[in-house]
Amino acid sequence: MAKSHQYDVLIIGSGAAGLTLALNLDRNTRVAVLSKGQMKDGSTWLAQGGIAAVLDDSDTEQAHVEDTLNAGVYLSHEDAVRFTVEHGRESIDWLIDQGVPFTREADDSDYHLTKEGGHSHRRIIHAADATGKAVLRTLIQRAEEAGNIDLFEHYVAVDLITRSKLRLADNCCVGAYALNIKSGHVEAFKAPQVVLATGGASKVYLYTSNPDGASGDGIAMAWRAGCRVANLEFNQFHPTCLYHPQAKSFLVTEAVRGEGGKLLLPDGSRFMDRFDPRGELAPRDIVARAIDHEMKRLGADCLFLDISHKPEEFIRNHFPTIYKRCMKYGIDITREPIPVVPAAHYTCGGVITDDLARTDVKGLYAIGETAFTGLHGANRLASNSLLECVVYARSAASHIQQQLQNKIELPEIPCWDESQVTDSDEDVIISHNWGELRQFMWDYVGIVRTSKRLQRAKHRIELLQQEISEYYSNYKISCDLLELRNLAVVADLIVRSAMLRQESRGLHYTLDFPDAGPEALDTILTPVNFQWQNHQAGPDSRRS
């Protein structure tokens, strides 16, 4: 008999956003947090740089707002930017209160702030070069200590459960089905308030800095449930991932450039000044495109990032994680440059939400990289992402707590039916389709695009989705199949969004439309099952 669970709040995702929301709910609220793998397997754990916030008297909130709008090529929503920036200091204070061990100045007088590309001031608070690890380790500990939070590891969400799917009157979300990876059975989780905090979709690309679980699950599930999505054509490619055959997905933080690291061609010469007057401190989209251009021009496998001109003690103290990882591969960054390549890093678009994190489906929220809040625009400013996680998670928690005062009668949810499917003996189809999808997304929908490439990708995705749908209907589900199904949905949304944007802006650069258009508009996609009467989140009068 399949298990069924009931909670006040179901949070799908166990990174900084999900755990922050859980910890900001009242201690008498019963909360379930689902983690696809172990609690530390997500993108938060890998985040190196830090969290942007106005913490120094020489800095201003207006300067942070302007830096964000500029990096986002003025597609960011100013109201969302101001909302995020204005709640920055209190969010950092909350993390400090939880016990996050941020790095202090040498004399221990205050917290050390660093500077990253696109920022006009030092405003990045960090824990050496492993900020995400420090934040997540602390939040996991607090969640384990909380008596009202149940943590479910190795559970991958299958789909959201809405009243309309149960053939009831409205499209309110009432829970989700999740595959218990260890048992192989699907279990139902009932809850009147459901939160998507599943991260982004960078695994849709062949080369990525993200962990294997970044397969766009929340975005795909929300789309199937009737939520609109926005600006999914904007996929941020981190300019500097370590280039080494054994160094899978290892990112070299932007703070290396913030502290004076120089980008070099194979002959040792600098090149960034030819692309932007800010040089290495230009926003990520400009730096990634410059590296991509130079690699293709020279036929080079990689370029180089050099911090070796700094004192050895400085490098070891500020970048201990990078130093140790590079030494593991025989690269001494105190004496030689780091070989680097761009890699898919962050999904700037997502499920449309408002500043309470509400989606278009009642009872369903989205936070973190899964959500489109309007903050990032056409390019995310460095270290704004963890800030967004905390700010919107705390805002959502406050609204959810208010909603829980109104008792909601949950409908009966049927058990997952496996009677019509069999075990697969053709898993090679999953692995082949997974590889093909990521390869053509990298080739056709990468840093530089054309209309012809996008059309080719769209055609391949249509064929893949037919194969995946047939496979999903006939065989028992697995984590790999669920991720492939979700990646195909998100790949389709990315390509459709990119085809609609007939201009180059920020992270979306196309050779067919190399200039920015006269007006900055969002790209909004609306599913066929979208219900206007339930609409409660995000922009309306934009491109669709």
DSSP state of 256: H
> Do 118 and 281 meet the contact criterion of CB atoms below 8 Å apart?
yes
Note if 284 is an active site residue: yes
DSSP state of 131: H
Tokens found for residue 316: 């070891």
The mean pLDDT value of the chain amounts to: 92
Q: What is the pLDDT of residue 125?
A: 95
Tokens found for residue 188: 């139902």
| Amino acid (one-letter) located at 282 | A
Q: What is the pLDDT of residue 102?
A: 94
Residues 6+ apart with CB under 8 A from 479: 36, 156, 179, 181
- Domain 428-521: give its CATH architecture: Up-down Bundle (1.20)
4 alpha carbon, distance to own chain's centre: 29
Q: What is the pLDDT of residue 97?
A: 97
**Count of Cβ atoms closer than 10 Å to residue 322 Cβ:** 27
Angle between helices 384-403 and 88-98 (to 10 degrees): 80
354 alpha carbon, distance to own chain's centre: 17
Closest CA to 229 of 371, 357, 351: 351
Q: What is the pLDDT of residue 541?
A: 38
Closest CA to 235 of 372, 351, 347, 73: 347
- Domain 239-344: give its CATH architecture: Alpha-Beta Complex (3.90)
Could you say which of 137, 284, 325, 505 is catalytic? 284
| Number of H-type helices and E-type strands within the chain | 15, 20
64-123 confidence digits (pLDDT tens) = 999 999 999 999 999 999 999 999 999 999 999 999 999 998 887 899 999 887 899 999
Report, as ranges of residue numbers, the positions in the chain whose pLDDT lies below 70.
Answer: 1-2, 419-420, 422, 424-426, 532-544
Strand 262-264, strand 193-196: pairing: unpaired
Angle between helices 16-23 and 131-145 (to 10 degrees): 30
What SS3 state is found at 103? coil
* CA dist list (Å): 324 to 48, 272, 327, 331, 349: 14, 27, 5, 9, 34
Q: Where are the domains of the chain?
A: 239-344, 428-521
Which runs of consecutive H residues, i.e. helices, occur in 379-478? 384-403, 428-444, 451-474
CA-only gyration radius of the chain, Å: 22
Q: What is the pLDDT of residue 316?
A: 94
